[in-house]
């Protein structure tokens, strides 16, 4: 399937996981459009060659304007930390984007989700909102692809404070860490074939490490120390300091204490090419390029 003259709208294209997708789509020959609250900031972040429409996911008019003439929409949104904000972004925004895409005859919608999103595992505000958002996407009638990704290597620096990296909770499950570069390539490839339509694809990296093992490798490379902390302690600190981010992180990590990976990456790897970059290879790159 040729990419010539095909336009993909990326919603959340200035974020840590959305920006690389926009860049990969552009590198692969797609015209890339972004919906951004601050077009000047988005343009500065991404550089030339992107069409940017001013607007927010809360505006149906902005969504329709941004979708005018596009062939696909990629959703890379992050909600939280409050329950209302998770519902706004992961459920209601996904619902509204899907409905607008159907109305505007968009060919497909792709969305970044997580491996532990299902009715059975909906034990947090985030997971419940994602379940409802995915249900709305599926029921909208627009063709879709859901990417159920494992943990991204790029999240590891987010746990660093000062000279320590925080290992929050007891996380015994092996995780197939994935580099965002590989994920972005797979998203772009999905727009070049119809075999990915109406599928849930598990995106797992080439190696499995528990959270503790991955943080130990990261710490050895960067010179920080691993600092264990229970989810109960983090939640208590969040409550005492009125820090909603800490309270939300405690809830999130408790969720991942309970749930490891399931599903198989076999279909995604066959259709899109298996991720190749290992954690050690990722660590060799300058942090500014990760």
- 152 closest CA partner among 114, 121, 122: 114
- Taking only Cα atoms into account, the Rg of the chain, rounded to an integer number of angstroms, comes to 19
Query: According to the model, what pLDDT value does residue 245 have?
Result: 77
Does position 239 have pLDDT exceeding 90, yes or no?
Answer: no
Q: What confidence category does residue 242 fall into, taking pLDDT thresholds of 50, 70 and 90?
A: confident
Q: Residues, the chain, total? A: 290
Separation of alpha carbons 62 and 106, rounded Å: 15
pLDDT at site 288? 52
Q: What is the predicted pLDDT for the residue at 287?
A: 63
Q: What is the pTM of this model?
A: 0.94
62: pLDDT strictly greater than 70: yes
Residue 286: the pLDDT is: 75
Least confident of 118-132, 222-236, 238-252: 238-252
H/E/C letters for each residue in the chain?
CCCCCCEEEEECCCCCCCHHHHHHHHHCCCEEEEEECCHHHHHHHHCCCCEEEECCCCCHHHHHHHHCCCCEEEECCCCCCCHHHHHHHHHHHHHHHHHHHHHCCCCEEEEEEECCCCCCCCCCHHHHHHHHHHHHHHHHCCCEEEEEECCEHHHHHHHEECCEEEEECCCCCCEEEECHHHHHHHHHHHCCCCCCCCEEEEECCCEEECHHHHHHHHHHHHCCEEEEECHHHHHHHHHHHCCHHHHHHHHHHHHHHHCCCCCCCHHHHHHHCCCCCCHHHHHCCCHHHC
Predicted confidence (pLDDT) per residue in 101-128, tens digit? 999 999 999 999 999 899 999 889 899 9
d(CA 225, CA 9): 41
**Residue 4 above 90 pLDDT?**
no
Residue 52 contacts residue 33 (beta carbons within 8 Å): yes
Nearest to 215 by CA among 269, 283, 261: 283
Please state the rounded mean pLDDT for residues 91-108: 97
What is the predicted pLDDT for the residue at 2? 62
> What's the confidence (pLDDT) of residue 241?
80
Is the pLDDT confidence value at 1 over 60?
A: no
pLDDT at 231: 86
Share of the chain above pLDDT 90, in %: 79
d(CA 219, CA 162): 12
Which domains are present in the chain? Answer: 7-289 (3.40.50.720)
Among left, alpha and beta (phi > 0; psi -120 to 50; other), residue 177 is beta
Model confidence at 289, in pLDDT bands (50, 70, 90)?
low
Residue 50 has pLDDT above 80, yes or no: yes
Task: Decide the pairing of beta strands 207-209 and 175-177.
Answer: antiparallel
Mean pLDDT estimate for the chain: 93
pLDDT in tens, 159-193: 999 999 999 998 899 999 999 999 999 999 999 99
């Amino acid at each position: 399937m040729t990419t010539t003259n095909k336009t993909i709208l990326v919603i959340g294209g200035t974020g840590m996981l959305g920006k690389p997708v926009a860049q990969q789509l552009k590198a692969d020959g797609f015209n890339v459009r972004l919906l951004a609250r601050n077009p000047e900031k988005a343009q500065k972040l991404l550089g030339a060659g992107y069409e940017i429409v001013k607007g927010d996911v809360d505006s149906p008019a902005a969504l329709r304007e941004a979708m005018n003439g596009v062939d696909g929409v990629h959703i890379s949104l992050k909600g939280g930390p409050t329950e209302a904000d998770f519902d706004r972004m992961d459920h209601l925004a996904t619902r509204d984007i899907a409905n607008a895409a159907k109305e505007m005859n968009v060919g497909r919608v792709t969305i970044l989700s997580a491996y532990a999103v299902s009715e059975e595992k909906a034990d947090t505000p985030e997971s419940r909102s994602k379940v409802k958002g995915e249900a709305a996407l599926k029921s909208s009638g627009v063709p879709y692809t859901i990417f159920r990704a494992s943990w991204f290597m790029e999240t590891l620096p987010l746990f660093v404070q000062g000279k320590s990296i925080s290992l929050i909770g007891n996380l015994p499950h092996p995780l197939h860490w994935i580099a965002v570069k590989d994920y972005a390539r797979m998203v772009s490839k999905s727009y070049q074939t119809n075999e990915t339509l109406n599928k849930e694809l598990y995106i797992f990296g080439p190696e499995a490490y528990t959270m503790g093992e991955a943080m130990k490798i990261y710490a050895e490379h960067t010179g920080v120390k691993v600092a264990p902390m229970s989810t109960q302690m983090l939640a208590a600190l969040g409550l005492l300091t009125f820090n909603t981010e800490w309270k939300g992180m405690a809830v999130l990590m408790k969720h991942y204490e309970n749930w490891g990976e399931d599903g198989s990456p076999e279909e995604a790897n066959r259709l899109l090419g298996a991720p190749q970059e290992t954690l050690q290879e990722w660590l060799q790159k300058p942090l500014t390029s990760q």
